Amino acid sequence: MDSNQFKKVQIFIILFFSSLTLYVLFKELKKGQKNLSTSISAPNNPIKKIKSKDTKNVPESSISKDKTVPELQKKVRPRTSLSKQQREVLDQFRKQAEDILTSLPSKQDLQQLEDGQVHKIPAQLLDTGRALGRLKEQVIRYPEFKELQEEAKTYYKNCADEDEFPTSIRSLCLVNRIQLAKDSGEVFDIAPYPLEIKQLILELGPFK
């Protein structure tokens, strides 16, 4: 064998082994790709399992897991739209509250009554009691209806703040305002109210 022939055999051998290596590499690569895609589409995906476990192990955020979706939505963005029924209830409550506030007797009204009428609770105050009773029943009926509760808070505060109203009515409104503040975990300042009213409301035990 001359030197030219020897070189040709050498080149052939190198090319043969290079092709073989490339072929094996290509094969391995293909096999790897196939395994990866199979593992992703498998029904009992171990990666998935790990993922969900990891989510559970994530420390609690400000959003509690126990909360339902609507509750979370409420927390995230304030509710701006009410259902038709809620709107009706709220409108009715507002109207009722407004009517009562405008029809409440003043101190002067009571002082103008006849002697016989002021000996016991005057009919005007009993009218007020019945009206405030109807309002209270609405407040109790919809404890979760935030808009209505807020409306009631405003109403009771306006009623308690008005100097012209009889002290008995103002006191009852303040008792209800305190009750709502207490229920919603709010701090309500009673300092601006007259001492007489503060002492009276304590007798009705609104903080119990």
Partner 1 sequence: MIPPNCHKALILLVVFVLLSPFKSVIAVGMHMNSRDLNVSVQFLPYQESLLKTDFDFLKTLGSWEGLTDLDRKTMDIKVGNAAELDYWLRKRVQFLIPMSLNLELGFYGEVPLRYYPNMAELPPNVENIFTMADEQSNTLMSNIGVGFYLFGKRQRQIISVNLRTHFPKIEPQLPVLGPRIGIIQVHKNSFSHRNRISVSGREPADRLLRLSFLFHEGRHSDGNGSSLGFYHSVCPPGHDYTGRMACDISSNGAYAVAALFLKKSIEVCHSCTEGHKESLKLSYLDSRLRVLDKSILTPEEIERINRYENDMNIYARQLFAAIAQKDDIRRKYLMDKLQEVNAKIHKIKKPQNIPKTYWKSEPETIEYTNGFESI
**Residue pointed to by tokens 């959003």:** 63
- Widest distance between CA atoms in the chain: 147
Site mask, partner 1, residues 23-62, x = CB under 8 A?
Answer: ----------------------------------------
169 C-beta neighbours (distance < 10 Å), count: 21
Q: Structure tokens of 88?
A: 């009706």
Q: Which of 148, 171, 177, 180 binds partner 1 (CB under 8 A)?
A: 171
DSSP for 117-151? HHHS--HHHHHHHHHHHHHHHHHHH-TT-HHHHHH
- Separation between Cα atoms, residue 201 and residue 195, nearest integer Å: 10
Query: Which CB, 48 or 198, lies closer to partner 1?
Result: 198
Contact, 72 vs 62, CB < 8 A? no
- Residues 101-120 interacting with partner 1 (rule: CB under 8 A): 107, 110-111, 114-120
Q: Kindly indicate which of the ranges 18-26, 43-51, 68-76, 183-191 contains the residues binding partner 1, using the contact rule CB under 8 A.
A: 183-191
Q: Which of 93, 100, 128, 180 binds partner 1 (CB under 8 A)?
A: 128
76 binds partner 1 (CB under 8 A): no
- Separation between Cα atoms, residue 47 and residue 69, nearest integer Å: 27
- Separation between Cα atoms, residue 166 and residue 104, nearest integer Å: 9
144 binds partner 1 (CB under 8 A): no
Residues interacting with partner 1, by CB under 8 A?
107, 110-111, 114-121, 123, 125-130, 132-134, 136-137, 140, 166-169, 171-172, 175, 181-182, 185-191, 195-196, 198-200, 202-204, 207-208
